């Protein structure tokens, strides 16, 4: 099976398959007749695994680590359980960053609606942006925390 066939089977682009081949996660045989890469069914299920892992937010490097176990017949389950736990924590942090940014932006939109347009001066490029402070107030941070959806039932 050639690159575009595999790609079509999994509904991805040939470039994606080539990428994972280039970095060594897929190792197709080389057709002796035309030099084209020849992907096996195992390559396809490997690619499918990569997609599932990426879907869960695993990085390519993390997937490499997983393969380094499973390619030797060892179970990666323990490792994977540990990895996803850490990933959940990272996601939580990023989530909170997003919440902050979202509030920062909507606050800016609100503030700016009270301000007029201005031409730039020697020490002011755009007063809208320059007048927007980075840190959100503690009060807002608390309010946001109370609005953050939890994972508990």
Q: What residues does 29 pair with on adjacent strands?
A: 38
Task: Judge whether 70 and 76 are in contact, CB under 8 Å.
Answer: yes
Nearest CA to 19 out of 56, 63, 57 is that of 63
Least distance between Zn ion and beta carbon 13 (Å):
28
Binding track over 73-92 against a second copy, x by CB under 8 A: xxxxxx-xx--xx-xx--xx
Whether the Cβ atoms of residue 50 and residue 39 lie closer than 8 Å to each other: no
146, with CB counted inside 10 A (0-12, 13-18, 19+), is exposed
Give the β-pairing of 37-38 and 29-30. Answer: antiparallel
CA distance 47 to 26: 7
> What binding mask, one character per residue, do residues 21-60 give for a second copy by CB under 8 A, x or -?
--------------------xx--xx-xx--xx-xxxx--
Residue 32 or 138: the one with the smaller Cβ distance to DNA is 32
- Binding region for a second copy (CB under 8 A) out of 6-14, 15-23, 29-37, 108-116: 108-116
- State the nearest-atom distance from the C-beta of 33 to a second copy, in Å: 27
**Residue 49: φ, ψ to 5°:** -60, -45
**Interface residues toward a second copy, by CB under 8 A:** 41-42, 45-46, 48-49, 52-53, 55-58, 66-67, 70, 73-78, 80-81, 84-85, 87-88, 91-92, 94-95, 98-99, 101-106, 108-109, 112, 116-120, 122-130, 132, 134, 144, 147-151
């Amino acid at each position: 099976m050639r690159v575009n066939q595999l790609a079509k089977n999994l509904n991805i682009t040939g470039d994606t398959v080539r990428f994972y081949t280039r970095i060594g996660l897929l190792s197709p045989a080389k057709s002796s007749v035309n030099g084209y890469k020849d992907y096996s069914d195992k390559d396809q299920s490997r690619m499918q695994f990569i997609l599932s892992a990426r879907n869960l937010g695993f990085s390519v490097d993390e997937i490499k680590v997983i393969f380094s176990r499973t390619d030797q017949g060892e179970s990666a389950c323990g490792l994977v359980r540990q990895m996803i736990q850490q990933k959940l924590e990272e996601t939580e942090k990023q989530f909170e960053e997003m919440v902050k940014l979202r509030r920062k932006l909507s606050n800016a939109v609100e503030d700016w609606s009270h301000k007029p347009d201005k031409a730039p001066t020697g020490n002011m490029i755009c007063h809208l942006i320059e007048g927007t402070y980075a840190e959100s107030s503690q009060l807002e941070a608390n309010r946001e925390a109370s609005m953050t959806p939890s994972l508990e039932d």
